[in-house]
A and B are shown apart, each in its own frame.
Chain A
Amino acid sequence: MKSSFTDTPPATTNANAPDAQPDRSSNRRSERKPLTFKRASTWAIPLIVVIVILVLWQIIVEVLGLKPYFIPTPLKIAETFKENLRVIADNSVPTLAQAVTGFAIGNALAVVMSVWFVHVSSARRALYPLAIILQSIPLVAIAPIFLVTLGDGFSTKVVMTAIISFFPTLVNMMRGLAAVDTNMVQLFQSVDASRWKVLVKLRWPTSLPYLFAGLRITASASMVGAIIVEWISSDTGLGYMIINSTYQFNTPLLWASIVASSLLVLVAFGVVVLVERALVPWSRLSEIGA
């Protein structure tokens, strides 16, 4: 969750490589076809790989006669998932709630801070190193501090997931807000545009692909963070289920909880990608990185 926070979008801001395509209508149409084909193959191929792995897994476990508490078959996991659907759903709610709340708070703070940092260099010089230090402390190490000061309730968990969500978006947004074309800035200055106008009409839209790069990372990171915090201290949630089923040697339930967790992460990621496609149609990132 730390390694990938500098997910940089390609330069989408200015004009692309010049081409000599005089006919725009054919240009537009010809783009569509290979795209749908590509999209189909990007979905179909991994799906086939997954099915093959699951089938092999099932066969190997049955042939070797391994016990379910050692390693359950995919069918057994699916069965457990179905039987415990109610429990899994009930425990998904608190995990999702704290992940979403932390995600929202952390990202909102990151956006506000990045705008502040980009415009006020003294603020950036004073506080940016602090943000880096905060990021460099492992979450698991910092968790007990918040447990002591804030107790083991909802607020601790939200603070932890907010911290996780904060930094990747801060870094991406600071890049995005600065990723404006100097000639474009010159155009704005040539008509004495205020810094507010430069922000609203130039920097902010330029930074949106970078913001979504941050949001994609933090969507899954906040979910992972919420689960980790539940390991440390909780009596509900998917993290708690994972730990609890491990202690009880209920390996099929452990696997079912893991499946539920990754489904939640996938959904969170998918929501971010969909929102990005709706809000930032000019960004090519959603097609490449999804």
Chain B
Amino acid sequence: MLQRFLRSDEKAGIGDAPGLADPGSLVQLTDVSLTYATRPPLQALEGVSISMKQGQFVSLIGPSGCGKSTLLRIVAGIMEPTSGEVLIEGGSPGSAQRLHRFGFVFQDAVLLPWRTVRENVELLTELVGLPPNERRSRARELLELVGLRGCEDLRPDQLSGGMRQRVSIARALALEPAILLMDEPFSALDEFQRELLNSELLRIWVEKHCSVLFVTHHIEEAVFLSDTVMVMSAAPGRILESVEVNLPRPRTDAMRVAPEFLQLRRYLREVLIH
């Protein structure tokens, strides 16, 4: 059982020399550090290296304030690291953003309350200037995908928290991104909604053939969803360990109580608490 818990530095693609990007790699962070220029300087991230391949589901897990959301922003090019290299499909995060390679899902659904569900899903395609019929057919298809068929004309305040988050996932997929960046998207939901949306997200991920970088502080969620779970420590944020989850796919709810699942959960808990 324990051979499944490979250490990150033994895996290919992690800890490579800078600039030697693996051609199949989607996200490549090499020795990324971030220090805020406060007095005294506050180091938020220290020597973070991540390698993520096309189609992977990777979770970042760690205590509050460990810099996981900051790391997500660095991947998206919203923040610049103080040192280290960030490559998205071999290019800069900025160029990846211009090519609409990222889809964003936040902790809150952040929908526009004056727009219907369909209009919210069409927001980005509209801003990019796609023709209306193209926008509409994409929105219809995506709402079907996230299980909101028939809800097109409802307004966000008529939806439950889980449904709002489904809308925000549909919106994130509208420009067909290569990678979904999800920042604790289900942390405001109750346990049942969370588990339901976990399964839904996996289904969507398989159907859309995208990759997901998923920030969470929920161990079970991370294990259930991911191929790889990156465990982070706080102050400064570092990757403590990168744990492969070799549970078979498709994942089912029954697996949540399987011995291997529980063992992984326990192991991650130990790493987090250490």
Contacts and interface: CB of A to CB of B under 8 A. Distances in A.
A184 interface: yes
B154 A183 contact: no
A20 B110 contact: no
B135 to A, nearest CB: 13
A205 B78 contact: no
A201 interface: yes
A190 interface: yes
Interface string A1-33: 000000000001111111111101001100000
B104 A183 contact: yes
A223 B103 CA distance: 51
Interface in A154-189: 181, 183-184, 186-188
Question: Binding site of A, secondary structure by majority: helix, strand, loop or mixed?
Answer: loop
B155 interface: yes
A190 B97 contact: yes
A24 B127 contact: no
A197 B192 CA distance: 38
B190 interface: yes
Contacts of B160: 18-22, 24, 27
Interface in A19-69: 19-22, 24, 27-28
B113 interface: yes
Interface residues of A, number: 30
A192 B124 CA distance: 10
B121 to A, nearest CB: 12
A193 interface: yes
A268 B110 CA distance: 35
Interface stretch (B46-54, B161-169, B227-235, B237-245): B161-169
Contacts of B249: none
Given A15-B156, A20-B160, A183-B108, A191 B113 contact: no
A249 interface: no
A18 B154 contact: no
Nearest to A283: B113
Contacts of A190: 76, 97, 100, 102, 104, 124
Nearest to A28: B158
Interface string B72-86: 000010100000000
A197 B129 CA distance: 12
A20 B104 contact: no
A202 interface: yes
A191 B163 contact: no
A282 interface: yes
A186 B104 contact: yes
Contact of A24 (B111, B126, B151): B151
B193 interface: yes
Interface in B85-114: 97-98, 100, 102, 104, 106, 108-114
A193 B127 contact: yes
B60 interface: no
B163 A187 contact: no
A192 B104 contact: no
A187 B110 contact: yes
A205 B114 contact: yes
B159 A282 contact: no
B157 interface: yes
B188 interface: yes
B272 to A, nearest CB: 25
A57 to B, nearest CB: 44
Contacts of B14: none
Contact of B110 (A12, A14, A28, A191): A14
Interface string B166-203: 00000000010000000000001110110000000000
B154 A191 contact: no
A187 B114 contact: no
A27 B188 CA distance: 20
Given A184-B110, A191-B127, A18 B188 contact: yes
A186 B112 CA distance: 14
A242 B139 CA distance: 61
Contacts of A202: 112
Interface in B122-164: 123-124, 126-128, 151, 154-164
Contacts of B114: 205, 280, 282
Contacts of A187: 104, 110, 123-124
A205 B104 contact: no
5 contacts: A15-B109, A181-B110, A184-B110, A201-B123, A201-B127
Interface of A: 12-22, 24, 27-28, 181, 183-184, 186-188, 190-193, 197, 201-202, 205, 280, 282
Q: A-B pairs with the 7 shortest C-beta distances?
A: A18-B161, A282-B113, A21-B160, A18-B188, A183-B106, A15-B109, A15-B108
